[in-house]
Amino acid sequence: MRIVRSIPELRVALKTFRDGGQSIGFVPTMGFLHEGHAALIRQSMARCDTTVVSVFVNPTQFGPGEDLAKYPRDLERDQNLCLKLGVGTLFIPEPAEIYPTGFTTSISVGPMGDLLCGMFRPGHFRGVATVVTKLFNLVQPDLAFFGQKDLQQTSILRRVVKDLNLPVDILVVPTVREADGLALSSRNAYLSPEHRKLALGISRGLFAAERRFQEGERDPGTLAEGVRSALAGMDEIQYCEAVDPLTMDLLAGPITRPAALCVAVVLGGTRLIDNVLLSPTGEAAQFISHLDPPGGNA
């Protein structure tokens, strides 16, 4: 595995693969890697000739008062996991490498960035879209891999890729969970044992709603309310909504096509998100793998 820290090093490291016509897979991360990230890396390893993983805690996607300074970091563990999985290149830039003096450009993501998480984290998706677009330009991957847990982020990035004609396909890997159902997240490290138990209400509520949907319930409000009833004890329920996974727009009528139930809560000062996909045809997993704005990635 080659570890690179600068943009020139990265370009040199990947030139051989490009010149040889080999496919490049890319997994952008903020580090503190866990089994959810490993699932993304394994998908990339299975589909591409070489895999690049980036570890970069992006400062522009954190707002005032958010957890940038205390965001969990363990670079040695990250390196060992990537080495064990067979990653070809690990890119670990410093903030000044990505945002040099005088950097002023950013990407506006439009109305989708103001919905759901965007209502509570103003500017967050602008920061995400800007750094991921930069990373796409630097790595120039054929495929990039993201997790379903960050569904809104993934939908926004797919829109950015389509709108800007970026030559990369985004694949979404189903959420990886602990044995008890809690979605894996680097921020789970913040949870006290008591809050960890309470957090199980998120997946419990989502799974119950998923079962009700499979049994025939199609009213989005009824399904969302069922999830809310399982969130007792949360410090704050920021949202719990049934949405169109392409646009993040709230659903008002019966669910007749793939939808997503999305949740964000605050528990013990830690913000947690999760979702389940609901497909009337029973093919939610296949749907998320191929989720794309109408017209594809032109």
Largest Cα–Cα separation, the chain: 56
pLDDT band at 62; cut points 50, 70, 90: very high
Tell me the C-alpha distance between 260 and 251, whole Å: 9
Mean pLDDT, residues 113-125: 97
Backbone angles phi, psi at 5, to 5 degrees: -125, -10
Of residues 242, 272, 246, 247, the one with CA closest to residue 260: 242
Mean pLDDT, residues 4-33: 97
Of residues 206, 212, 197, the one with CA closest to residue 260: 206
Q: Class of 186-289 per CATH?
A: alpha beta
Candidates 34, 37, 124, 195; catalytic one: 37
Tell me the C-alpha distance between 206 and 78, whole Å: 30
Task: State yes or no: pLDDT of 291 exceeds 90.
Answer: no
Mean pLDDT, residues 94-123: 97
Task: State yes or no: pLDDT of 296 exceeds 50.
Answer: no
pLDDT of residue 283: 57
Per-residue pLDDT tens over the stretch 266-277: 999 999 999 999
pLDDT of residue 293: 41
Q: Tell me the percentage of the chain whose pLDDT exceeds 90.
A: 91
Neighbours of 179 (CB within 10 A): 5
pLDDT of residue 281: 75
pTM above threshold 0.85: yes
Q: Class of 2-173 per CATH?
A: alpha beta
**Is 37 known to be catalytic?**
yes
pLDDT of residue 280: 84
- What 3-state class would DSSP assign to 258? coil
> 186-289: same fold as 2-173?
no
Contact between residue 170 and residue 154 where contact means Cβ atoms under 8 Å apart? yes
Name the residue ranges covered by the structural domains of the chain: 2-173, 186-289
pLDDT of residue 295: 38
- What 3-state class would DSSP assign to 282? coil
pLDDT of residue 282: 61
Mean pLDDT, residues 215-228: 97
Tokens of 136: 């796409």
Q: Tell me the percentage of the chain whose pLDDT exceeds 70.
A: 94
